């Protein structure tokens, strides 16, 4: 079986690393399986791409389509044009896409138009918020895919409701957590630790990159002011996503205990997360990691496609109104944050389950 694996953006790299590891184990075990890794180039900065390949031991991609930048439509179109050539020159039996980024959707459309089977890893999750580009990517990808690997029973149910045949849905767990569990003993202290003099459980990590929080004229400033006000003077470390960086320069926000840093490498970022008092974020993947690490997580969004991080894990969804931050911080600072549990099958063995299922299907 020949598999083409797609990776385009930061969260993709974390999700594909263990899948490639599982394929390598099958190859060593004598299974007739091979893979070709396609990087679409959606994220291209060194600290949004290259550092993940190095730290997570991901092989150098067979090809980089270099489709960074542009509007949603420009990027989708560029990826589609280049991926079509790639597939014609390098025939495959199956395209594996992960997550919900533009590359996931664009490559799925191209593969299906060439009558190639597609497996979607992290299928079926839904926020119900169609204003999120990721939700559109999820809906389109899941309406075309052949095999669906899900992170939760809820995601499988969403697919069943959509009319997907249950035989094509595989509840396997979370490949992002495979990576977390494998790398947990190797986290690296980032430079900022000593520069600021950070102490365990005595600082906050902040990440924001969703359009609803960072694109508006005043929203970002209001949120940052309120987070600072409610932080009880703790240091706040804010690794700034490239799409947020521009807005931050425009609003010119500064405060003495908030440190804006470049996006961190995976091992450095999760070192900070594991020792933090709490994380404030609008990321999806980070709510899953904090759930497994048992760290309080405050999500500044109105909806989540990962409800198990709230119902089972340590995440609270508080919306994007700054006034919701104070009550939440009161709970945190009175040490009454929920302890949380680990969602079903988030056990570090998901990628093996995926590859075993694909081998059984003999696509």
**Enzyme catalytic residues:** 209
Applying CB under 6 A, the span of 140-148, 245-253, 263-271, 318-326 interacting with ligand UDP comes to: 263-271
Shortest Å, Cβ 352 to ligand UDP: 20
Q: What's the half-sphere exposure (Cβ side, CA atoms, 13 Å) at 259?
A: 20
Binding mask 202-231 for ligand UDP (x = CB under 6 A): -----x------------------------
Q: Record the tokens describing residue 190, joined without a space.
A: 């980032």
Judge whether 42 and 80 are in contact, CB under 8 Å.
no
Alpha helices in the chain (DSSP H): 10-28, 50-56, 72-89, 102-113, 133-144, 153-161, 175-183, 191-196, 211-214, 219-229, 242-251, 266-275, 285-293, 308-311, 325-333, 350-361
**DSSP state letters, 194-230:** HHHT--TTSEEEEE---HHHHTSSSHHHHHHHHHHHT
> Which of 16, 17, 279, 286 touches ligand UDP (CB under 6 A)?
286
CA 363 – CA 324 distance, rounded (Å): 49
Nearer to ligand UDP, 6 or 358 (CB): 6
Position among 8, 239, 296, 307 found at the interface with ligand UDP (CB under 6 A): 239
Binding mask 55-94 for ligand UDP (x = CB under 6 A): ----------------------------------------
**Closer Cβ to ligand UDP, 98 or 118, answer by number:** 98
What distance in Å separates the CA atoms of residue 212 and residue 300, rounded to the nearest whole number? 9
| Closest CB to ligand UDP among residues 231, 244 | 244
Task: Work out how close the CB of 167 gets to ligand UDP at its nearest, in angstroms, rounded to a whole number.
Answer: 29
The contact pattern for ligand UDP, residues 130-169, with x = CB under 6 A and - = no contact, is ----------------------------------------
User: Which listed range, 58-66, 261-269, 314-322, 342-350, lies at the site for ligand UDP (CB under 6 A)?
Assistant: 261-269
First to last CA, the chain: 7
Radius of gyration over alpha carbons of the chain, in Å? 20
Q: How far apart are CA 268 and CA 309, in angstroms?
A: 22
Q: Are strands 203-207 and 235-239 parallel, antiparallel or unpaired?
A: parallel
Span of 9-17, 73-81, 136-144, 196-204 interacting with ligand UDP by CB under 6 A:
9-17
Nearest residue to ligand UDP, using CB? Answer: 285
Residues 200, 210: Cα–Cα separation, whole Å? 28
Rounded Cα distance, 236 and 258, in Å: 5
CB of 51 to ligand UDP, least distance (A): 8
Residues 6+ apart with CB under 8 A from 68: 41, 42, 43, 44, 75
Q: Does residue 266 bind ligand UDP (CB under 6 A)?
A: yes
Q: Which of 10, 120, 126, 306 binds ligand UDP (CB under 6 A)?
A: 10
Helix, coil or strand: residue 121: strand
Binding segment (CB under 6 A) for ligand UDP, from list 74-82, 124-132, 136-144, 284-292: 284-292
State which of residues 14, 106, 119, 132 lies at the interface with ligand UDP (CB under 6 A).
14
User: Which parts of this chain interact with ligand UDP (CB under 6 A)?
Assistant: 10-11, 14, 176, 207, 239, 263-264, 266, 269-270, 283-286, 289
């Amino acid at each position: 079986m020949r598999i083409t694996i797609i990776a385009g953006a930061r969260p993709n790299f974390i999700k594909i690393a263990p899948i490639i590891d599982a394929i390598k184990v099958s190859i060593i075990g004598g299974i007739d399986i091979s893979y070709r890794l396609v990087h679409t180039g959606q994220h291209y900065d060194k600290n949004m791409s290259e550092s993940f390949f190095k730290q997570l031991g991901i092989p150098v991609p067979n090809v980089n389509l270099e489709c960074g930048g542009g509007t949603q439509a420009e990027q989708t179109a560029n990826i589609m044009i280049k991926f079509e050539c790639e597939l014609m020159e390098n025939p495959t039996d199956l395209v594996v896409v992960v997550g919900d980024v533009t590359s996931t959707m664009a490559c799925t459309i191209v593969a299906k138009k060439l009558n190639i089977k597609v497996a979607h890893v992290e299928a079926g999750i839904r926020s119900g918020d169609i204003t999120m580009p990721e939700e559109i990517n999820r809906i389109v990808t899941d309406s075309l895919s052949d095999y669906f690997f899900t992170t939760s029973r809820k995601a499988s149910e969403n697919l069943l409701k959509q009319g997907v045949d249950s035989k094509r849905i595989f509840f396997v767990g979370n490949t992002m957590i495979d990576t977390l569990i494998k790398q947990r003993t190797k986290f690296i202290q980032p430079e900022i630790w000593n520069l600021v003099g950070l102490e365990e459980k005595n600082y906050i990590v902040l990440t924001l990159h969703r359009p609803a929080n960072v694109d508006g004229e005043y929203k970002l400033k209001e949120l940052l002011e309120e987070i600072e006000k409610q932080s009880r003077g703790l240091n706040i470390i804010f690794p700034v996503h490239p799409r947020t960086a521009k807005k931050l320069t425009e609003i010119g926000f500064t405060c003495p205990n908030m440190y804006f840093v470049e996006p961190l490498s995976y091992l450095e970022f999760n070192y900070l997360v594991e020792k933090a008092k709490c994380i404030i974020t609008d990321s999806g993947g980070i709510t899953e990691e904090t759930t497994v690490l048992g760290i309080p997580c405050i999500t500044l969004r109105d909806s989540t496609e990962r409800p198990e991080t709230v119902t089972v894990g340590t995440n609270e969804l508080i919306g994007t109104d700054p006034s919701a931050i104070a009550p939440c911080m009161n709970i945190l600072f009175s040490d009454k944050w929920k302890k949380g549990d680990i969602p079903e099958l988030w056990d570090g063995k998901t990628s093996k389950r995926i590859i075993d299922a694909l081998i059984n299907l003999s696509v």
